[in-house]
Amino acid sequence: DQQVKQNSPSLSVQEGRISILNCDYTNSMFDYFLWYKKYPAEGPTFLISISSIKDKNEDGRFTVFLNKSAKHLSLHIVPSQPGDSAVYFCAASGWNSGNTPLVFGKGTRLSVIA
């Protein structure tokens, strides 16, 4: 049973436009969420995180939004650049539910077209 779902395996966006990557979760004990970016032949790289006490966190071109009632989060990249082309993984953990490790989604492959 997938606790973290990224329903879009791929996404294509034009350079300069907004990229929106979505993630849904089912476990209500999750209260810390992260996005990782992965280039081919490299390990995932931490991008941005958000805890459940917030509904938005911003870092430069990257913003993560959290909708707890819908158990949904999204990553916005504005403006999108060709170097953003990578696989993006959503991950979740529950800090107060024991030593729950990160649970990852299957990823969304973002292609930013110049």
Partner 1 sequence: DSGVTQTPKHLITATGQRVTLRCSPRSGDLSVYWYQQSLDQGLQFLIQYYNGEERAKGNILERFSAQQFPDLHSELNLSSLELGDSALYFCASSPRTSGTLNEQFFGPGTRLTVL
Report which DSSP code applies to 11. E
Residues in contact with partner 1 by CB under 8 A are 32, 34, 36, 41-46, 49, 51, 89, 93, 95, 98-107
Taking the C-alpha atoms of residue 38 and residue 40, their distance in angstroms, rounded to an integer, is 7
In angstroms, give the least distance from the CB of 44 to partner 1.
5
Question: Helix, strand, or coil here: 32?
Answer: strand
Report the amino acid identity of residue 95. W
DSSP-assigned beta bridge partners for residue 87: 38, 109
Complex with partner 1: residue 20 or 102, whichever CB lies closer: 102
Complex with partner 1: residue 25 or 89, whichever CB lies closer: 89
In angstroms, give the least distance from the CB of 13 to partner 1.
22
Complex with partner 1: residue 20 or 103, whichever CB lies closer: 103
Report which DSSP code applies to 15. T
In angstroms, give the least distance from the CB of 29 to partner 1.
12
Cβ contact 104:45 at 8 Å: no
In angstroms, give the least distance from the CB of 85 to partner 1.
18
